[in-house]
Structure 1
């Protein structure tokens, strides 16, 4: 969920999630608000974690204009 002065809404993702990979690509397949009909690729990079207390991921989102 994004809620800032520039962007508002949420994104939907689809992925076969290989959890053991340090870096993985997941697909953006839509969303709500400013992300309605969004398409793109998100790269998820695993960071620190101590389950079940906390985890840290770096996320790079690349959206394509498709309308």
Structure 2
């Protein structure tokens, strides 16, 4: 007994994937491309985080040097 349209759609898709080698091949290709995209985005996020951390550390060091210089002048 199918209770909703979503159930009917998912059931039909599962049946289609079970019976069609071409459909499985296409879905596998999409899954690989999707995984590749997620890994690329993850790598970009890591690079952005590393860059931001480096800039913050540079600013902090520069600020500490400025404070040291100002206290030495006084």
For this structure pair, what is the TM-score category when the shorter chain's length is used for normalisation? Answer: under 0.3
Output the TM-score relative to the length of structure 2.
0.20
Give 1 or 2: higher strand fraction: 1
Rg (Cα) greater in structure: 2
